[in-house]
Amino acid sequence: MKLNAAYIALLFVAATAVLAQLPDDLKAQFDVAERRIARLPPSAFPELPRNVVTELERRGCTVPQEAFTKKPHNVVKGQFARPGQIDWAVLCCTKGTSTILVFWGGSEKNPAAIAPREDRIFMAGITGAEIGYSRDIGPAGRAFIMRHYNAYGGQKPPPIYHEGIDDAFLEKASVTWYFYLLRPGTRTWSLSKCSGAATTRTFRWRSGWRILPTC
C-alpha cells in the first residue's frame, strides 16, 4: 500500500480530529496524560553545547520525554549535513507543540525547524490503564536507510553520505528526515515514512522535502 504526500499530512489531521471526538471522560484522560508529560529543561542535557542551551532557553524550549525510556532523550548529535560536521537535533516543545530544531555544526544561529506537531497527537496507550507520550528522535545512518530501501523498494534515494533524523511515533510509525544538497547554495530535506507493522511504504520525489524509503 502506498500513500501520497497529501495523505501523510492528513494522518496528523485525522489524529487531531479523533482526539476532538473522543468521549468526554476519555478525552479528560488524554488531557491529564498530556499535562503529565515529562518535559526537561535544556540544562538537563550536559552534553549540549552551552550556546545551544542558551538559545533553547531563549526560545522557551523544553524537551518532552517519551514514556518508555528513563534516561533523558530527544536530544541527539550526528552528522546531519555532511560527513565530519557534528550537528545537534533537539525536540523543542513550546506551548504544547514540539519541533525538531537542528543546530548546524553546534552553532546557535539559524537552526533548521522541522515537523512541528502537537504533543497530544503522540499520546498512546502504554499499558491497559496508562496513557503516555510516544514521540522519539534519533540518528538514522546509511545502513538503516538502505536496508529499508532494499527491503521495501521504491524510487532509488539520492546518495546517502551522512545521517538522517528518525522521527518516531513509537510502535506506530516512523519518519526519517534527510538533508540533501541539490546544488551549491541549495538546501533541502528529505522525508521517509512507514506506518503500521512495517506494512505501509511511502516514497515520492517532490521539490523541497523529499520522501525516502525507510521505516
**Structure confidence by residue, pLDDT tens digits, 36-93:** 899 999 999 999 999 999 999 999 999 999 998 999 999 999 999 889 999 999 999 9
CA 193 to chain centre: 11
> For the ranges 22-36, 108-122, 156-170, which has the lowest average pLDDT?
22-36
Taking residue 41's Cβ as centre, other Cβ atoms within 10 Å add up to 12
pLDDT of amino acid 43:
97
204 or 130, which is more confident: 130
Full-model pTM: 0.77
Structural domain of residue 93, as residue ranges?
5-212
Give per-residue pLDDT as tens, 129-160: 788 999 999 999 989 888 877 876 666 777 88
pLDDT of amino acid 73:
96
One-letter amino acid of 17:
A
Stretch 85-113: mean pLDDT, rounded?
A: 96
pLDDT of amino acid 13:
45
CA neighbor of 166 nearest in space, from 192, 147, 187: 192
pLDDT of amino acid 209:
37
In the chain, count H helices and then E strands. 4, 14
pLDDT of amino acid 175:
77
Number of domains in the chain: 1
Burial of 5 (0-12, 13-18, 19+ CB in 10 A): middle
The residue assigned the cell 505501509 is 200
Beta bridge partners of 41: none
pLDDT of amino acid 189:
58
Grid cell of 198 as nine digits: 512495517
Contact 73, 101 (CB under 8 A): no
Measured CA to CA, the distance from residue 115 to residue 124 in angstroms comes to 19
Q: Is 161 left (phi over 0), alpha (psi -120 to 50) or beta?
A: alpha
